[in-house]
């Protein structure tokens, strides 16, 4: 009997319509929107989207948070090019 092994998603490169929980029609865009709405922990995101531990998506939700929360906080609270060029990769041409 062949065992099914779920392939890990690279959430940093996944399209917005990538399913996180197909049974509840929750997509990557829903998790990102929850982060934008101020839910920045696994527990608060899962509660906000009516996800439960037994849905089997808690590791994916945490992986998405690990990627998107720092980026969104950087936009929200400053950082990036607004903080000067020290340590910058030079992508802005400045």
Digit-coded pLDDT (tens) for 44-66: 999 999 999 999 999 999 999 99
Whole-number Å distance between alpha carbons of 39 and 30: 11
Whole-number Å distance between alpha carbons of 89 and 85: 8
Digit-coded pLDDT (tens) for 84-93: 555 555 445 4
What residue spans of the chain are helical by DSSP H? 28-36, 42-48, 58-77
Chain centre to alpha carbon of residue 77 = 18
Report long-range pairs for 42-46 (Cβ below 8 Å, ≥24 apart): none
Residue 7: pLDDT band (50, 70, 90) is: confident
């Amino acid at each position: 009997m062949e065992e099914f092994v779920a392939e890990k998603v690279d959430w940093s490169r996944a399209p917005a319509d990538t399913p996180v929980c197909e049974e509840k029609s929750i997509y990557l865009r829903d998790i990102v929107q929850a982060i934008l709405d101020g839910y920045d922990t696994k527990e608060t995101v899962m509660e906000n989207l009516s996800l439960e531990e037994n849905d089997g998506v808690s590791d994916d939700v945490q992986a998405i948070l690990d990627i998107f929360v720092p980026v969104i906080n950087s936009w929200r609270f400053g950082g990036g090019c607004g903080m000067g060029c020290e340590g910058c990769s030079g992508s802005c041409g400045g």
